[in-house]
Amino acid sequence: MNVTTVSTAGMSTAIAGIVALGTGVVVENTRGEIADGGDDVSPVTLSSDWSRVARLLLLASLAVVGSVGNVFMISAVMVEDHLKKRGNAFLVNVALADLLVTGLVIPASAIVILAGQQESPSICRFEWSLEAVCFLVTVFTLATIAVENYARLCLSEERYEALTPSCVTSLILTAWLIAGTTVALQSSLDLGPDFCGRRFNGIAFVQAVGASIVVGVPALITILAYLCLVVRVRRATRASFKPPVAFAWDYDLTKTNMYSFAMFAVFWLPFGVTLCVSSVRPVSARVFYNLAWFALSKSCFNNLLYCVSDRHFRNAYVKLFHYCCCKTTVSFSRRTRGDGTGRSSGDVRLRVHIIHSYASPASCRPAVARPNGRDVYEL
């Protein structure tokens, strides 16, 4: 199954090439054939052992399910009240990167199979270049999500307010700019292995160092940010203090973000390990391309993880499904309160960042009962 696997494979090419760019050293690209030749494994149209119908159905199913799911994930942030927060724009950015894969990369391979043509170098390079950009954007954005979650839950409101909408926009655009520039430079300078040409002999040392910086540093930041967040939350909630409901919702979303990062690692780590091993010993082309395709399929399932793990995404998905498929009347607005104030029943007067307030005397203030029976903690 090597469809866009080469596209993914190309991603590693881009990452490997970054090394030479980042260190200022241009490594001579001595090319060698992939072990076993792999002539029956296409980087675009999957293995020739499969029938055309089977390959077309597989790719079409992945493209449809993944694209619809990613559109639902993006829309959920706009229609669900609790998800309408500036930091969740980073989740939209990850979904957008996945949407480009499921909406452009996979369909491109399906079109080639439908037309009954062999893959062309231009299609192959388009696929792996786009996948390389989306991979790097996802890596950068996952690290940003971890830091934003830590700031939202553990820092004071004044410090969190430094993350303005303009700052969020700048971070997202910067991630795409860095990823696009990196892949463009790698392609123009012809650095690293050539996956579309089926020529690969591992990664040079300086390229491995550069790839570690580009991928390893954001991954390390993500892990450290989540570890610090979990430790601080557990310390703050270790006593008999009961966190407000809004904090619990944000913490549940943070745990879902952790699961998303773990899923990303599970899908991409086997391919990365194989890429490193190939520098020491020959790797079968079939194994290499299949692992690359497995990593690529992550874009089709990440949105389903949010549906399963987070209640607000799940509620939004149900609303969107009824609106799009069942043609029923669905209201995305909040219900108005019956006390005549005009405020919605979904409004929660809670301090989301309880860690800073937990240690202060204000955290001992008594709860104030709301008209609808829900308690509000004045933090």
Query: Is 369 exposed, middle or buried (CB count within 10 Å of its CB: 0-12, 13-18, 19+)?
Result: exposed
176 neighbors 94 (Cβ within 8 angstroms): no
Q: In the prediction, which pLDDT does 233 show?
A: 87
Contacts of 32 (CB under 8 A, 6+ apart): 199, 200, 201
Is the pLDDT reported for residue 9 higher than 60? Answer: no
pLDDT band at residue 183 using 50, 70 and 90 as cut-offs: confident
30 part of a folded domain: yes
* Mean pLDDT lowest among 15-19, 21-25, 32-36, 190-194: 21-25
Q: Is 90 exceeded by the pLDDT of residue 142?
A: yes
The verdict on residue 253 lying in a domain is yes
Sign of the alpha-carbon dihedral angle for 145, 147, 149, 152: negative
For the stretch 235-260, pLDDT in tens is: 877 766 677 888 889 999 999 999 99
Could you give the number of structural domains in the chain?
A: 1
Q: State the residue for tokens 């937990």.
A: 358
Q: What is the Cα Rg of the chain in Å?
A: 24
Please report whether residue 17 resides in a domain: yes
What are the distances in angstroms from CA 176 to CA 141, 311, 317? Answer: 10, 30, 27
Domain membership of residue 355 (yes or no) is no
Q: How far, in Å, CA of 279 to CA of 286, rounded? A: 17
Distance CA 262, CA 309 (A): 13
Mean pLDDT of the chain: 76
310 or 38, which is more confident: 310
Q: Which residue has the tokens 């303009």?
A: 166
Q: What is the pLDDT of residue 329?
A: 55
Range of the domain at 289: 5-331
User: What is the pLDDT, as a whole number, of residue 54?
Assistant: 86
- In this structure, the dihedral spanned by the alpha carbons of residues 206, 208, 211 and 212, taken in order and rounded to 10 degrees, is -110
Look up residue 347 and give its amino acid.
D
pLDDT given for residue 91 in this prediction:
95
Q: How far apart are alpha carbons 44 and 108 in whole angstroms?
A: 8
CA distances from 357 to 144, 154, 163 (A): 24, 9, 19
Helical axes 311-321 vs 298-309, angle rounded to 10° = 110
Residue 184 is part of a domain; what is its CATH number? 1.20.1070.10
The larger pLDDT score, comparing residue 322 to residue 224, is at 224
Q: State yes or no: pLDDT of 268 exceeds 60.
A: yes
Has residue 81 got a pLDDT over 60?
A: yes
- The pTM of the full predicted model, rounded to 2 decimals, is 0.75
Specify if 114 maps to a domain.
yes
Most confidently modeled range among 29-43, 220-234, 271-285, 341-355:
220-234
- Whether residue 372 lies inside any domain: the answer is no
The residue-averaged pLDDT of 222-234 equals: 93
- Amino acid in position 119: E
Confidence of residue 99 (pLDDT cuts 50, 70, 90): very high
| Residue 378 in domain | no
Within a domain: 288: yes
Q: pLDDT (tens digit, 9 = 90+) per residue, 108-119?
A: 888 888 887 776
